């Protein structure tokens, strides 16, 4: 079996991640922050250590500005619904995931003004059009750091600089970049950064979060959920202290334990090393696809300008048939269709059928790529 669906969920997880989750349930299964006994203290320590690892990964000085959520979608919803009000203007791009577009379309019905800045057919943001679309009352800019369809890496720092000049805040969707691209929060210029744990961070599903830049004032962001936090229990109003303001209810301790171990494993291995490995695989795949009859590759077609995510189609073949044959005949796991990003497929010209997406990760090898190219060569020929 060759797994090439890392952009959806990374697999396999490092063994340390599984061990950390088992150890949490066996040895530290108390309710963190809710009691003073040893199991509660142990659970709280594990969760704080996960925040520390994430803060180190993102270059954030204060681990308490890592707000843990169920996934990037939950983090994005917290940012959008917690910040935006009727009359506000928000600017996004034409390559976004539905985790951004669906909340924005709902907010549009509530009086929020939404503008979509165009991207070219490779998924690259048109910075000139983006700058023109910024308005004096733009409250927020929302961009994905890397496309889940084409792997295209956004010019985040340039866009953030333009946004800040216009007085706008910046929310960066790092679901596809955290763990596979080396960057810090400051380098991106983002005020808010949403991440998920189950992709390149090598953690389990049900983990993720929202990172608040040092310059971001939490008074601007209202919590979407209120309830027990284990802190300031004498009051019936939500505490203002971080991260409790946004983390009501018992956390996913076992998942966070796994996430923390996944991040530590990445830091030990080195994000730069992982990036170099995935770039090498991307070059091999892009080169191999050029040899396949009828293959059309979408996106930058450059290992330097994209993540290890490659979308393609084959002439006169349905993407669902290609994916089925890759799976059933060759044991190659891909993802086909619209990838929860219809805006992106409209931008690159593959709507409504979509593409076949091959998304590589740390566990893949050159032998995997050779097997994929051989399989596609056979599928493409009558």
**What CATH code is carried by the domain that includes residue 333?**
3.90.1150.10
Q: Do residues 336 and 238 both lie within one domain?
A: no
> Are 342 and 219 in a shared domain?
no
Residue from 119, 180, 202, 340 carrying the catalytic annotation: 340
- pLDDT score of 149: 98
Residue 333: pLDDT band by 50, 70, 90 thresholds?
very high
The answer to whether residues 66 and 94 belong to one domain is yes
DSSP 8-state assignment for residue 45:
H
Say if residue 31's pLDDT is above 80. yes
As a whole number, the mean pLDDT across the chain is 97
Looking at the predicted structure, is the pLDDT value of residue 348 above 80? Answer: yes
Of 269, 299, 321, at which residue does a domain stop?
269
* 165 and 290, same domain (yes or no): no
The answer to whether residues 106 and 52 belong to one domain is yes
What does the pLDDT average to over 133-148?
A: 95
Is residue 340 among the annotated active site residues? Answer: yes
**Amino acid 240: pLDDT:** 95
Kindly state whether residues 264 and 281 are assigned to the same domain. no
Say whether both 161 and 248 belong to one domain.
yes
Q: Given 242, 269, 296, which residue is the final one in a domain?
A: 269
Q: Which residues have a Cβ under 8 Å from the Cβ of 200 and sit 6 or more positions away?
A: 6, 10, 176, 177, 178, 179, 180, 266, 274, 361
pTM above 0.85, yes or no: yes
Whether the per-residue pLDDT at 34 is higher than 90: the answer is no
298 and 259, same domain (yes or no): no
Is residue 208 located within the same domain as residue 342? no
Confidence of residue 135 (pLDDT cuts 50, 70, 90): confident
Out of 221, 252, 269, pick the residue that ends a domain.
269
Q: What is the mean pLDDT of residues 265-271?
A: 98
Please give the residue range of the domain that contains residue 237: 15-269
Asked if pLDDT for residue 100 goes beyond 80, the answer is: yes
Predicted confidence band of residue 29 (pLDDT cuts 50, 70, 90): confident
Burial of 304 (0-12, 13-18, 19+ CB in 10 A): exposed
Give me the pLDDT at residue 266, please. 98
**What CATH number is associated with residue 80?**
3.40.640.10
Residues 285 and 354 in one domain: yes
If you average pLDDT over residues 233-248, what whole number do you get?
94
E-assigned strand segments in the chain: 2-3, 66-69, 89-93, 113-117, 138-144, 169-173, 192-196, 208-212, 295-298, 309-314, 332-333, 335-337, 355-359
The number of folded domains in the chain is 2
275 and 179 in one domain?
A: no
Same domain? 58 vs 45: yes
């Amino acid at each position: 079996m060759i797994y090439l669906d890392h952009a959806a969920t990374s697999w396999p997880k490092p063994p340390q991640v599984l061990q950390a989750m088992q150890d949490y349930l066996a040895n530290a299964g108390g309710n963190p922050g809710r009691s003073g006994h040893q199991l509660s203290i142990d659970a709280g320590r594990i969760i704080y250590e996960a925040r520390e690892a994430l803060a180190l990964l993102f270059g954030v000085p204060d681990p308490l500005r890592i707000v843990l959520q169920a996934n990037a979608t939950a983090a994005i919803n917290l940012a959008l619904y917690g910040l935006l009000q009727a009359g506000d203007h928000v600017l996004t791009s034409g390559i976004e995931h539905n985790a951004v577009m669906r909340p924005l379309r709902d907010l549009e019905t509530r009086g929020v003004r939404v503008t979509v800045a165009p991207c070219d057919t490779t998924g690259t943001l048109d910075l000139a059009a983006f700058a023109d679309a910024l308005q004096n009352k733009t409250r927020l800019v929302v961009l994905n750091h890397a496309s889940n369809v084409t792997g295209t890496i956004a010019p985040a720092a340039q866009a953030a600089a333009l946004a800040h000049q216009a007085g706008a805040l910046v929310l960066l969707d790092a679901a596809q970049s955290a763990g596979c691209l080396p960057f810090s929060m400051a380098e991106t210029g983002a005020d808010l950064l949403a991440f998920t744990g189950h992709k390149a961070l090598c953690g389990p599903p049900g983990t993720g979060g929202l990172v608040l830049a040092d310059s971001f004032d939490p008074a601007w962001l209202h919590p979407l959920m209120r309830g027990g936090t284990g802190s300031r229990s004498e009051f019936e109003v939500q505490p203002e202290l971080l991260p409790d303001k946004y983390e009501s209810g018992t956390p996913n301790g076992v998942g966070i334990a796994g996430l923390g171990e996944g991040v530590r494993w990445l830091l030990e291995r080195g994000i730069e090393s992982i990036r170099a490995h995935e770039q090498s695989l991307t070059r091999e795949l892009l080169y191999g696809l050029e040899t396949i009859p009828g293959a059309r590759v979408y996106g930058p077609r450059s290992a330097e300008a994209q993540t290890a995510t490659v979308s393609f189609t084959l002439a006169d073949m349905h993407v669902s048939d290609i994916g089925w044959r890759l799976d059933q005949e060759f044991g190659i796991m891909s993802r086909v269709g619209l990838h929860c990003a219809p805006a992106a497929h409209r931008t690159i010209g593959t709507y409504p059928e979509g593409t076949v997406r091959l998304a590589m990760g740390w566990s893949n090898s050159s032998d995997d790529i050779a097997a994929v190219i051989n399989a596609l060569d056979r599928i493409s020929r009558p």
